[in-house]
Structure 1
Amino acid sequence: MKIDFNKNNDGLVPVIIQNEQTLEVLMLGYMNSEAYEKTRAESKVTFFSRTKNRLWTKGEESGNFLYVKSISIDCDNDTLLIKVDPIGPTCHTGSRSCFKTEYNQNFIFELEQIVNSRYEHPQEGSYVNKLRTKGLNKIAQKVGEEGVETVIAALNETETDFINEASDLVFHLIVLLREKNISLRTIAENLEKRHR
């Protein structure tokens, strides 16, 4: 990557931080070449703090590190996009993102993470755990049931009923995908390929 740190007189480039799993934009920071090299070497995001006038690794005090998953550069070679696995909230206010959005636009990906977590760390009494212990056949059957209920709601019930049934269908499909070890990303990539 040929990053143009000299485009601005301050030697800094803007860096957009995005959650690798949910794709939510978490924050904007700045890097100089030294911060970039440290980020690559340690796989934790380090910025150049303009207020502190020094390198600053996100999470150095809070423990809320941003672990690097990928780094991309824009077409002008002067802005970076870093996809991360965030540990804890990203914003100093305690919010998951520094940007105030009406709702988490990518909650479906976050829901996938929650389902994955329930699989990896089963919690007694959780609905996902109950489904998981019943096995593939029961999970697939639930997707079928929810699909039929969604169709019925679309044809004969209120918009609220339809939204609720469609939500149940998507949730159970996410559980079925996890049971089969297939991610939403795989489905998205397949849909994109088929769209071409």
Structure 2
Amino acid sequence: MINIDWQKVGTLVPAIVQEKDTNEVLMLAYMNEEALSLSLKTGFAHYFSRTKNRIWKKGEESGNTQKIHSIKLDCDSDTLLLNVTQNGGIACHTGAKSCFFTEILDDDFKTSNTNQENYRPKYNILDELYHVILDRKLNADAQNSYVASLFKKGENAILKKIGEEATELALAIKDATKNNQDEQTKSDVVYECADLLFHSLVALSLHNIHPERVLNELSRRFGLSGIEEKNQRNVK
């Protein structure tokens, strides 16, 4: 029987995931009590995403699910070890077999990266963009990456771009109205809206907020009148 002090772990217990045949460490994730219960009930790994702020089944989008063979609890009752079959052979969203492919210290005391698989699992475009932006934020050279250059300039530069893109979108919409919504001006509206959304994702990643949390908020509001939703905000 698994006895976890959920208060001690702040409601989230780390879960180390190993491949059944090789014992290779594939990833580190987190489970809350519900995610653990779903994992035990279904036999497939479920985790709690701290960025998406929800429970997710591993492979729910990519199809690379994890069939659980065993779950062990460590001596302090605050870490789980999962032994799984990694369906599809890919655990990492980058397309790599394991999430641990970046070497900080190798035999020559040099920093290096191993080659990732050419195949990348399919995720929705917002999730893909968000992870690319995070990668640029952490690893890219500001001389070669537009996103990295924004992060280097700081929050004010990112917010300024959002303001500029919002203005350009508003002007494009006005032009579409003026030109009776012809296809060219409609395309301009789409283009400017994409720019605004992209820079909004950059701002979200500045604070490690996954875009799915925004989608969840829209889902929460669905069916509420605008007046009712605003009134709810004012309730302390």
Task: Give the aligned partner of residue 95 of structure 2.
Answer: 88
Q: Counterparts in 2 of 1:50-89, with a 5 A limit?
A: 57-58=86-87, 64-66=89-91, 85-88=92-95
User: What one-letter code is carried by the residue in structure 1 that aligns with 2:63?
Assistant: M
Unaligned runs of 5+ in 1: 4-12, 47-56, 67-84, 98-103
| Partners of 2:64 and 2:90 within 8 A in 1 | no
Task: Give the aligned partner of residue 68 of structure 2.
Answer: 36
- The verdict on how the C-alpha distance between 1:110 and 1:24 changes in structure 2, with shifts beyond 3 A counting, is farther
Task: Give the aligned partner of residue 184 of structure 1.
Answer: 211
Q: Counterparts in 2 of 1:142-157, with a 5 A limit?
A: 142-157=161-176
| Partners of 1:16 and 1:28 within 8 A in 2 | no
1:119-145 CA-to-partner distances (Å, cap 9, x unmatched) read: 111323200111111111111111011
- The verdict on how the C-alpha distance between 1:87 and 1:118 changes in structure 2, with shifts beyond 3 A counting, is closer
Q: CA RMSD in A?
A: 3.6
Q: Tell me whether 1:127 sits opposite 2:127 in the alignment.
A: no
| Partners of 1:24 and 1:105 within 8 A in 2 | no
Give the paired residue count: 139
Q: Tell me whether 1:170 sits opposite 2:206 in the alignment.
A: no
Aligned partner of 1:195 among 213, 222, 230:
222
- The verdict on how the C-alpha distance between 1:184 and 1:155 changes in structure 2, with shifts beyond 3 A counting, is same
Unaligned runs of 5+ in 2: 1-39, 53-58, 73-80, 98-116, 177-184, 224-236
1:134-173 CA-to-partner distances (Å, cap 9, x unmatched) read: 1111111110110111111122141221111111000100
Secondary structure, aligned partner of 1:130: helix
- The verdict on how the C-alpha distance between 1:87 and 1:126 changes in structure 2, with shifts beyond 3 A counting, is closer
TM-score (norm 2): 0.47
- The verdict on how the C-alpha distance between 1:132 and 1:86 changes in structure 2, with shifts beyond 3 A counting, is closer
TM-score (norm 1): 0.56
